[in-house]
């Protein structure tokens, strides 16, 4: 299990990238970062967390934290996961990308 520490929350929970997932206290939150400009709730996030530039699940990130997280996510994706869950995840991403390209929601 490869883990990259990003920060701790105010209540002491760790925010880490673990095996290609952004995790909060070891629980998966998201598998990618979203720039704040593209986030549907960007105004509320900006108001609650000044300086946030990205979000992943419920977690806002500053520019530096997002860079660390993206680096760890990229490194994890370079490792080919041939397990059934890895194959399932790649298929799910391919189906989502195809549906998005065709405008299916």
Give the model confidence (pLDDT) of 47-76 as tens digits.
999 999 999 999 999 999 999 999 999 888
For 89-92, which contacts have Cβ atoms below 8 Å and span 24 or more sequence positions? 89/31
Name the pLDDT band for 105 (thresholds 50, 70, 90). Answer: low
**Average pLDDT of the chain, as a whole number:** 89
Q: Note the pTM of the prediction, 2 decimals.
A: 0.70
Tokens describing residue 39? 């986030």
Using an 8 Å Cβ cutoff, are 17 and 4 in contact? yes
3-state DSSP assignment of residue 35 = strand
Q: Which two tokens stand for residue 52?
A: 């946030």
Whole-number pLDDT of residue 8:
96
User: Pick the residue with more confidence: 83 or 31?
Assistant: 31
């Amino acid at each position: 299990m490869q883990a990259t520490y990003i920060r701790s929350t105010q209540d002491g929970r760790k925010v880490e990238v673990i095996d290609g997932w952004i995790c909060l206290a070891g629980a998966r939150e998201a598998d990618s970062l979203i720039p704040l400009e593209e986030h549907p709730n960007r105004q509320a996030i900006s108001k609650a967390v000044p300086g946030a530039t990205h979000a992943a699940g419920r977690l806002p990130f500053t520019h530096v934290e997002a860079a660390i997280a993206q680096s760890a996510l990229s490194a994890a994706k370079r490792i080919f996961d041939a397990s059934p869950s890895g194959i399932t995840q790649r298929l799910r991403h391919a189906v989502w990308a195809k549906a998005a390209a065709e405008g299916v929601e």
